[in-house]
Chains A and B, each alone.
With several copies, the nearest count.
Chain A
Amino acid sequence: MSITLSIIYLISTITFVIGLKLLGHPETAKKGNSIAAFGMGLAIIGTIFLNNLEVPIFIYILIIVAILIGSVIGWLIAIKVEMTKMPELVSLFNGFGGASAALIGIVEYGNNQADITQVTTIIAAIIIGSITFSGSMIAWAKLNGSLKKDIRLPKYNLINNLLLIALIVFGFFIVNGSINGEIIIYILLLFSLIYGILFVIPIGGADMPVVISLLNSLTGIAAAITGILYDNMVMMVGGILVGSAGLILTFAMCKAMNRSLSNVIFGAFGGDSVAAKKGSTIGGHIKKTNPSDVAVLMNYADKVVIVPGYGLAVAQAQHVIHELEELLTKKGVEVSYAIHPVAGRMPGHMNVLLAESNVSYDKLIEMDDINPQFKNTDVVLVVGANDVVNPAAHNDPSSPIYGMPILEVEDARSIIINKRSMNPGYAGIQNELFFNQKTSMLFGDAKETLTKLVQELKNM
């Protein structure tokens, strides 16, 4: 490797560290992203043009064509995607990264079968890369709705863990030299892909963000391992950075939901059965309401707080909610949004969605700041949110969400809840808030119902 290339890699590594650092602060995040992107560009161009190898021209052309094709595809997807589709997009891209690592491993297995360190890294890259790939694809399918059911083999946890152990033993034998041959590596690939599928498929759709974050961390590790193979520092350090940052992010998400990582991965089924039991114990009388009554109520309110949740994202109602907010503001009502950290499909997702529909930044109030304000609030409008306003988190130690901080909407003078049915939310538990005296249920799809509400308000 030429010394220039080494220095370029060093610079890229530094841009990665600095970029990641800046990404962690709202004011500098954009700059951080650009710096990291710049470093990545540098590393790519350096790798192609400063390699000191004798390479036929047509391979250069192939590489450049590949890069052009991929860039155009990536770019188009990135600018076209709807912001509600963010989680599945990250999952898709992440899967591609994993696939890339696995492919590298396969080609390199053809070239090196002697050195034990190299074979180890190759096997690891193939296993991790393909698990990431197939796992991410399943996560993607679950999130975009193509795969609705959580398919669970009987004793799936046991099967999965056995399969994982088998994979590792298999890999060990290949490294060992006990088994070898071109075909063996494809079998390894196949089983890794299967494991990735079986790993993700039993996990509920709402847990996908955690899974994606975990898989993202794994892709980083795969990149780092490939870096060891090539003794390439930028891959190693960059990969490890993503690996450790991703893991921290994963734990942060679990913590915000008051669950453990193992509960997310292995506990899906247990969680549901508890939930089902719980659901039946709550009961009482519910009050229904309709858009025109709500319109009247809001029209004469001084202060309205909107609580957006997962259902808002699903219904794509972020634009109409913004319309509602503007209309009310014009009528002299003070409106703000209460943002729960894990409302929506991934952490911080509500911020992105509402920012996209031009909601002004200072109307989004974080949980800890808005909670004391509910006391002075006339109307709370909960749109497609459920768990994040469930008082069981405070009151019921046996509830699966017990201990999770929630938005304390109960304190408000009246509560309007928009959802389609009495079905529970992600945690699968009923919500006693719905039976509260102050609560009125506004049933219906968020987008349709809010559109009607806006219409009523306009006519007043």
Chain B
Amino acid sequence: MQQIIEFLKENLQLIYILILAVFIGVEVIKNIPAVLHTPLMSGANALSGVVIVGAILVMLNADPNNYVALSLGFLAVVLGIINVVGGFAVTDRMLQMFKKKKK
């Protein structure tokens, strides 16, 4: 309990940021038309690939002799970037199709 209070005290602004971000996420997504559900899921999925930033930091911070850390980091970067690039690309492809049809 004491630790939780400590944490709250030190990271108050962080908590505000998280709560505000939750509100934005909710506010932005609700009421979107069903047509866009699939592209939106795929786009949100690409966004969750932001974890790649952490994967890069793992490699940058790794001890150059720690091969385990380096390999795991390498794998994390590869997987993360697949999520990002693939996610955005496939979303774009889907939306491209809608656009073409629209005119």
Judging by beta carbons under 8 Å apart, are B92 and A13 in contact?
A: no
Q: In the complex, what residues of A have CB within 8 A of residue B61's CB?
A: 53, 111
Write the nearest CB–CB distance from A17 to chain B, whole angstroms: 6
C-alpha spacing A216/B51, complex, angstroms: 13
Main secondary structure of the interface of A (DSSP, over half): helix
Least CB distance from A418 to B in Å reads 24
Beyond A24-B32, A97-B80, A97-B83, is A36–B56 a contact (Cβ under 8 Å)? no
Interface bits A364-381 vs B (CB < 8 Å: 1, else 0): 001000000000000000
Q: Which of B57-75 contact A (CB under 8 A)?
A: 57-62, 64, 66, 68-70, 72-75
Given B45, B55, B98, which contacts A351 in the complex, CB threshold below 8 Å? B98
13 contacts between A and B (CB under 8 A): A3-B5, A3-B8, A24-B36, A29-B98, A43-B50, A70-B80, A74-B86, A75-B86, A78-B86, A94-B48, A216-B44, A223-B50, A238-B47
B residues lining the A interface (CB < 8 Å): 3, 5, 7-9, 12-62, 64, 66, 68-70, 72-102
Task: Flag if B44 contacts A21 (CB, 8 Å).
Answer: no
CB of B55 to closest CB in A, whole Å? 5
CB atoms of B91 and A40 under 8 A apart: no
Cα distance A356–B5 in the bound complex, in angstroms: 50
Chain A min CB distance to B89 (Å): 4
Known: A70-B81, A70-B85, A93-B86. A63 touches B99 (CB 8 A): no
Contact indicator B37/A252 (Cβ below 8 Å)? yes
| Residues of B contacting A: mostly | helix
Decide if A74 touches B89 in the complex (CB within 8 Å): yes
Please tell me if the beta carbons of B37 and A253 are within 8 angstroms of each other in the complex.
yes
User: Does A206 have its Cβ within 8 Å of any Cβ on chain B?
Assistant: no
Q: Of A7, A79, A104, A361, which contacts B54 at CB under 8 A?
A: A104
**Known contacts A33-B88, A33-B95, A237-B21, A101 near B60 by CB under 8 Å:** no
A interface list, Cβ under 8 A from B? 3, 6-7, 10, 13-14, 16-17, 19-21, 23-26, 29-30, 32-34, 36-37, 40, 43-44, 47-48, 51, 53, 55-56, 58-59, 62-63, 66-67, 69-71, 73-75, 77-79, 81, 83, 86, 89-90, 93-94, 96-97, 99-101, 103-104, 106-108, 110-111, 116-117, 209, 212-213, 216, 219-220, 222-224, 226-230, 232-246, 248-249, 252-253, 256, 341-342, 346-349, 351-352, 355-356, 358-361, 366
